[in-house]
Amino acid sequence: MSDLSEQKSIDQDQPSWTRPAGASFEEWMTTRVARFSTRRYDWDALKFQADYDPKFRRAQMRYIGTGGTGVASDMNTIPSENFTFSTMVIPAGHEGPPHLHVDVEEVFFVLRGKLKVVLTTPEGERYETVLTDRDVVSVPPGVYREEINVGDEDALMCVMLGAKKPITPTYPADHPLAKIKR
């Protein structure tokens, strides 16, 4: 049983942070804690990308909300009202393909590793930078972003999206993943 299982009892008409009726403060706050020991890396969240090309293989570990990967629900996360928070592992030599969120800002905070981040407008303007330990980038809606692990070890980053349930991202029209059904 997850330390978050009590969260299910909250009335869905109330914000997810609403204190359940009759819950003690400790019981309520326990539902707001997600521990590393109860997480697992989900290598299948973006499996359709890795099935197309193994270089896109990476894993998500969800903490708050389900993020923008297309995972519909995860009862082992803290429900979200305004953002999602997860960590992602990108193995050395692997990458996150270019994608665009039309509705949310996305933040990448590198905990460990070396990621080249490529940002591109739909009109073709391009910006590249390399992020290392404790560097962060905030990508506005409407800008394509891709992350490429250019280091020799797995890269670990925090990912935040600015909505409870972001619209599923899209790929550039000329990218092979744009034609694949999830």
Please state the pTM of the whole predicted model.
0.86
pLDDT in tens, 86-96: 999 999 999 99
Strands in 84-154 per DSSP E = 84-90, 95-99, 106-112, 115-120, 126-131, 136-139, 144-149
Shared domain for 1 and 51, answered yes or no, is no
CA pair distance 94, 115, nearest whole angstrom:
10
Shared domain for 76 and 144, answered yes or no, is yes
Shared domain for 117 and 67, answered yes or no, is yes
Task: Pick the most confident of 63-77, 119-133, 167-181.
Answer: 119-133
Structural domain range at position 10: 1-33
Shared domain for 74 and 139, answered yes or no, is yes
Shared domain for 44 and 18, answered yes or no, is no
State the average pLDDT over residues 16-41. Answer: 93
State the average pLDDT over residues 73-99. Answer: 93
pLDDT in tens, 112-163: 999 999 999 999 999 999 999 999 999 999 999 999 999 999 999 999 999 9
